[in-house]
A and B are shown apart, each in its own frame.
Chain A
Amino acid sequence: DVKVTQSSRYLVKRTGEKVFLECVQDMDHENMFWYRQDPGLGLRLIYFSYDVKMKEKGDIPEGYSVSREKKERFSLILESASTNQTSMYLCASSPQGNGQPQHFGDGTRLSIL
């Protein structure tokens, strides 16, 4: 069974802090994704990566960056956290190729005070 693990379920940080969200998958998937989930807005793609050291902007990349130094790990970085980044963050992974299902982690509920 595919396992996508996010390092924290709940996280509270202060405005201006640098925040790291970590995601690890154990299925050797090429693709990894970061989404944020807000009520009434669904899941919106922040960044994705299709290979080690490769990254592509999603639909809402402003205020975020990512790092993929190893195939199994994809990190989301909030360079200077702001209150409007309070949200649920979901990581996902999928194998390469069309029509491959994305497998999600349990999510990190991040609050910026």
Chain B
Amino acid sequence: GENVEQHPSTLSVQEGDSAVIKCTYSDSASNYFPWYKQELGKRPQLIIDIRSNVGEKKDQRIAVTLNKTAKHFSLHITETQPEDSAVYFCAASRDTGFQKLVFGTGTRLLVSP
């Protein structure tokens, strides 16, 4: 089955710096890759996703890149702010009707003022 590895497990940056979180996956048939943000004590929320027919997607300060050949994808956050502090999860799934996601183990991002 699919296996998703996520690095680093913790990441500390200064406000205004960029942050990059990387994930690798094992199933070459996976073609949907969402990223979730979970603030302390709150539910995970989708922040951006990418499909395999696209190499990069951007939404304001957040971008995701996908390299299908190498089977890895990354989340990039520019001009980080303290409110970006949270745990971020990547996930991967195949193109199936019931979209079973396999999650990475999470990255705790801390943005210091």
Residues of A within 8 A of B99 (CB): 31, 94, 97-100, 102
Q: Which of B11-19, B45-53, B63-71 contacts A (4 or more CB under 8 A)?
A: B45-53
> Which residue of the partner chain, among A4, A45, A97, A101, contacts B49 with CB atoms under 8 Å?
A101
Alpha-carbon distance A102/B38, docked complex (angstroms): 13
Least Cβ distance of B62 to chain A in Å? 15
Least Cβ distance of B91 to chain A in Å? 8
Closest-by-CB residue of A relative to B90 is A42
B78 part of interface (Cβ distance < 8 Å): no
Majority DSSP secondary structure for residues of B touching A:
loop
B96 touches A43 (CB 8 A): no
**Interface set, chain A 13-53, CB cutoff 8 A to B:** 30-31, 35, 40-45, 48, 50
B interface residue count range (under 10 / 10 to 19 / 20 to 34 / 35 or more): 20 to 34
A98 touches B44 (CB 8 A): no
B9 touches A106 (CB 8 A): no
A8 part of interface (Cβ distance < 8 Å): no
Residues of A within 8 A of B95 (CB): 98-99
Alpha-carbon distance A59/B101, docked complex (angstroms): 11
**Interface set, chain B 66-113, CB cutoff 8 A to A:** 89, 95-106
Most chain A beta-carbon neighbours within 10 Å: one of B95, B96, B97, B99: B99
Task: Contacts A101-B46, A106-B43 given; indicate if A43 touches B103 (C-beta within 8 A).
Answer: yes
Chain B residues within 8 Å of A, Cβ to Cβ: 1, 6, 9, 31-32, 34, 42-46, 49, 51, 89, 95-106
Give 9 nearest A-B pairs by CB, closest first: A50-B98, A42-B105, A104-B43, A43-B103, A101-B46, A42-B103, A98-B95, A99-B32, A104-B44
24 cross-chain CB contacts under 8 A = A4-B43, A31-B98, A31-B99, A40-B9, A40-B105, A41-B105, A42-B106, A43-B44, A43-B103, A44-B103, A45-B100, A45-B101, A58-B100, A59-B1, A97-B97, A98-B32, A98-B96, A99-B49, A99-B95, A100-B99, A104-B44, A104-B45, A105-B43, A107-B43
